[in-house]
Structure 1
Amino acid sequence: MTISDSPFHDADVLRIGECTVTLSSREVQVPGARRLRRLTPKAVGVLRVLVRSNGRVVTRDELFAEVWPDTLPTNDVLTQAVTQLRKAFAGDDEAGTPYIETIAKTGYRLLVAVSAVSPVDPGAAEPLSAASGILPPLRDQPATSVATPGAIDAATIPADALLLAPVRPRRGWRRIRRWVLLGIGLAMLLALGVMGWMLMHRSTAPSAVDAAVENGTRVIGSPQRPYRLITASAGFQTYPTLSPDGSQVAYEASEEEGGGQIKVQTSGNAPARTLVERPDGAVDRFPNWSPDGREIAFARFFGDGRCEVLIASATGGNLRQATRCDGTELLSFDWTPDGRGLVFGSMVGVFAHRGIRVLDLASGRWQALPYAAHKDDFDYAPRISPDGRWLVFVRNPQVGDLWRMPAEGGPLEQLTDDAAEFRGWAWLGDSRQIVFGRRVDSEARLYQLDSESRTLRDLGLDDAQWPAVARSANLLAFVHRKAQFGLYKVPVNGPAGAQRLFASSSRDSQPMLAPDDRQLVFASDRSGSYALWWADLQHPSSLRPIEGLRPDTRQPPAWSTDSRHLLVLGRDDQGVPHVYEITPRDEQLRVLPVPVARPLQALYTDDPDRLLLIERGDDQRTRLSLYDRRNWQRLATLYGVSQARFDGEQKRVVFTHLGASGLWSVDASLSPASVQQLSADKPSRWRYRAWSVAGSGRVDYLDESATCSSGLLRIGSGAEAVSRCLDATRLSAGNGFSSSFDGNDVYVSLAVTDGADIGVMPLIEQPAEIFPAFVRSLKIKP
Structure 2
Amino acid sequence: MQVLVALHRAEGRVVSREELLELCWEGRIVGDDSLNRSVSQLRKALAGEEGVSVDTIPRVGYRLLVPESPQTAAATPEPPPARPRISFRAKAAASIAVVAIVGVAGVLAFQSGAPKHWSASGIRPLTQEAGIEMFPAMSPDGLAVAYTAGRGFWEPRDIYLRNVSVGDATPVRLTQTPNADEYAPAWSPDGSRLAFLREDAAGECSVVVMAPPNGSERIVSSCADAYAGLAWLTPNALVIENRPAGSRARRLIAVDITSGRARALTNPPADMLGDGAPTVSSDGRRIAFRRTAALGSDSIYVLDTRTGATKALADGGWKATGFTWANDQRTLFFSSNRGGDFGLWTIDTVRGSEPRRVTLGMLPLGRLSADRQGRSIAVETGRIQASLSRIGRDGGSSTPLIAPEGVDWDPDVSADGATVFASDRNGTNQLWVRQSGGRLLRLTDMNASYVFAPRWSADGKQVLFLAVVKGKTDVYSMRHDGSGLTRITSDGAPKGRALWSPNHDQLFFTSVSGSGWHLVRHNLRSGRSTPVRNTAGIAIIERAGDRLFARRMGINSIVEIDTASGSVRPLPTNIEVEAVESWAPRADGIVHVRGAGLTAELWLTTWAGASRRLAALRQAPRTPFAIAPDGDIVTPELIAGDRDLMLITLE
Of 373, 379, 388, which aligns to 1:478? 379
**Partner Cα separation in structure 2 for residue 526 and residue 306 of structure 1:** 37
8 Å contact kept, 2:249–2:275: no
CA distance 1:502–1:318, shift in 2 (3 Å): closer
- Superposition pairs for residues 291-330 of structure 1, below 5 Å? 291-325=189-223, 329-330=226-227
Question: 2:639 aligns to what?
Answer: 752
Of 602, 608, 612, which aligns to 1:712? 602
Aligned-partner residue type, residue 561 of structure 1: A
- Superposition pairs for residues 318-717 of structure 1, below 5 Å? 318-325=216-223, 329-336=226-233, 338-347=234-243, 355-369=251-265, 371=267, 373-374=269-270, 377-396=273-292, 398-401=295-298, 402-407=300-305, 410=308, 412-438=310-336, 444-451=342-349, 452-458=351-357, 459-461=359-361, 462-491=363-392, 493-496=394-397, 498-503=398-403, 506-510=405-409, 512-516=411-415, 518-524=417-423, 526=425, 531-537=430-436, 539-540=437-438, 542-546=439-443, 553-569=450-466, 579-584=475-480, 588-592=483-487, 594-597=489-492, 602-613=498-509, 625-636=520-531, 644-649=540-545, 651-652=547-548, 654=550, 657=553, 667=561, 674=568, 682-683=578-579, 690-696=582-588, 698=590, 700-701=592-593, 704-705=596-597, 707-708=598-599, 710-712=600-602
Report whether the alignment pairs 1:740 with 2:636.
no
Of 229, 239, 249, which aligns to 2:145? 249
* Greater relative CO (CA pairs within 8 A, separation 6+): 2
Cα shift at 1:453:
2.0
Aligned Cα root-mean-square deviation (Å): 4.5
**Partner Cα separation in structure 1 for residue 173 and residue 314 of structure 2:** 36
Deviation string 1:436-485 (CA, Å, 9 cap, x unpaired) is 33467996444333344252233323211011222344321111121333
8 Å contact kept, 1:643–1:689: no
Cα shift at 1:330:
1.8
- Percent identity of equivalent pairs: 20
Cα shift at 1:432:
3.3
**Partner Cα separation in structure 1 for residue 227 and residue 277 of structure 2:** 9
CA distance 1:251–1:604, shift in 2 (3 Å): same
In structure 1, stretches of 5+ residues that fail to align are 1-196, 205-223, 765-782
User: What secondary structure does 2:386 align onto?
Assistant: strand
**Partner Cα separation in structure 2 for residue 471 and residue 746 of structure 1:** 51
User: What secondary structure does 2:484 align onto?
Assistant: strand
8 Å contact kept, 1:357–1:368: yes
8 Å contact kept, 1:599–1:613: no
**Partner Cα separation in structure 2 for residue 565 and residue 611 of structure 1:** 13
Cα shift at 1:240:
0.9
- Greater shift, 294-303 or 254-263, is seen at 254-263
CA distance 1:439–1:349, shift in 2 (3 Å): farther
CA distance 1:406–1:200, shift in 2 (3 Å): closer
8 Å contact kept, 1:666–1:672: no
Deviation string 1:103-136 (CA, Å, 9 cap, x unpaired) is xxxxxxxxxxxxxxxxxxxxxxxxxxxxxxxxxx
- Superposition pairs for residues 162-173 of structure 1, below 5 Å? none
In structure 2, stretches of 5+ residues that fail to align are 1-96, 105-119
Cα shift at 1:236:
0.7
**Partner Cα separation in structure 2 for residue 331 and residue 680 of structure 1:** 28
Aligned-partner residue type, residue 477 of structure 1: A
Aligned-partner residue type, residue 178 of structure 2: D
User: What secondary structure does 2:388 align onto?
Assistant: strand
8 Å contact kept, 2:386–2:640: yes
Cα shift at 1:671:
8.5
Deviation string 1:716-742 (CA, Å, 9 cap, x unpaired) is 668477666533xx4345554323356
8 Å contact kept, 1:555–1:689: no
Aligned-partner residue type, residue 749 of structure 1: P
Whose Rg is larger? 1
CA distance 1:278–1:339, shift in 2 (3 Å): same
CA distance 1:394–1:566, shift in 2 (3 Å): same
**Partner Cα separation in structure 1 for residue 621 and residue 336 of structure 2:** 16
CA distance 1:247–1:351, shift in 2 (3 Å): farther
Question: 1:776 aligns to what?
Answer: none
User: What secondary structure does 1:486 align onto?
Assistant: strand
CA distance 1:718–1:654, shift in 2 (3 Å): farther
User: What secondary structure does 1:316 align onto?
Assistant: coil
CA distance 1:319–1:403, shift in 2 (3 Å): same
8 Å contact kept, 1:394–1:400: no
CA distance 1:429–1:717, shift in 2 (3 Å): farther
CA distance 1:547–1:321, shift in 2 (3 Å): closer
Deviation string 1:620-677 (CA, Å, 9 cap, x unpaired) is 98875322121211222689979533435574452565xx686775735799984879
Deviation string 1:359-386 (CA, Å, 9 cap, x unpaired) is 1122222223464542764432333433
**Partner Cα separation in structure 1 for residue 570 and residue 536 of structure 2:** 15
**Partner Cα separation in structure 1 for residue 336 and residue 557 of structure 2:** 25
Cα shift at 1:580:
4.1
CA distance 1:614–1:443, shift in 2 (3 Å): farther
Between structures 1 and 2, the one with greater strand share: 2
**Partner Cα separation in structure 1 for residue 280 and residue 323 of structure 2:** 12
8 Å contact kept, 2:429–2:451: no
User: What secondary structure does 1:698 align onto?
Assistant: strand
- Greater shift, 290-299 or 426-435, is seen at 426-435
Cα shift at 1:353:
10
Cα shift at 1:703:
5.3
Aligned-partner residue type, residue 629 of structure 1: L
Report whether the alignment pairs 1:761 with 2:648.
yes
Report whether the alignment pairs 1:232 with 2:128.
yes
**Partner Cα separation in structure 2 for residue 565 and residue 445 of structure 1:** 34
CA distance 1:245–1:370, shift in 2 (3 Å): closer
**Partner Cα separation in structure 2 for residue 293 and residue 530 of structure 1:** 39
CA distance 1:332–1:731, shift in 2 (3 Å): same
Cα shift at 1:334:
1.6
**Partner Cα separation in structure 2 for residue 403 and residue 637 of structure 1:** 34
Cα shift at 1:570:
5.3
Deviation string 1:548-605 (CA, Å, 9 cap, x unpaired) is 6567644221111232210234589x999875422226x6423245333567554322
**Partner Cα separation in structure 2 for residue 721 and residue 428 of structure 1:** 55
